Amino acid sequence: IITLLALLSDSTFAASLPVVETSVQDGNVVLSLTNNEAVNLNCHYSVSWFVNTLNFRKEFGNISLAANSASAVSFKNDIYDHITHVRTKVTCE
C-alpha cells in the first residue's frame, strides 16, 4: 500500500499547474491562467455556474500556455444576471 501511495503522490506532482483565478466582471465569468514555470503547458478547463439561481451553464475547452505567460477566457452573460456557485476545474500536461 505504501508503494501505491508513493506512486500516486509522484504522479500528482509530476505536472506543473498554473495559477488559476475565476471571477465575475460586468456579468461575465472570467477564467485567468498564469504559467509561472519555464515549461509550456496544455490545459483543459471546465467552468460552471448558475445564472439567476435556476439556469445552469457550463463551458469547457483547452488553452495552451507558453512558459511564463498568462491567458484569460471570458464567458458572456447579461450584465443584470445574478451569477452564483462558480466552479472551476483545470488540468494541465
DSSP symbols for 35-46: E-SSS-EEEEEE
Question: What is the residue-level pLDDT of the chain in tens, covering all 93 positions?
Answer: 443 334 344 444 445 689 999 999 988 999 999 999 999 999 999 999 999 989 999 999 999 999 999 999 999 999 899 999 999 999 999
Amino acid (1-letter code) at residue 58 = K
User: Which pTM value belongs to this model?
Assistant: 0.79
What pLDDT, on a 0 to 100 scale, did the predictor assign at position 17?
A: 82
What pLDDT, on a 0 to 100 scale, did the predictor assign at position 35?
A: 96
Task: Please tell me the distance from the alpha carbon of residue 89 to that of residue 92, in angstroms, as a whole number.
Answer: 10
Phi, psi (rounded to 5 degrees) for 64: -100, 125
What pLDDT, on a 0 to 100 scale, did the predictor assign at position 16?
A: 64
What pLDDT, on a 0 to 100 scale, did the predictor assign at position 53?
A: 86
Neighbours of 65 (CB within 10 A): 20
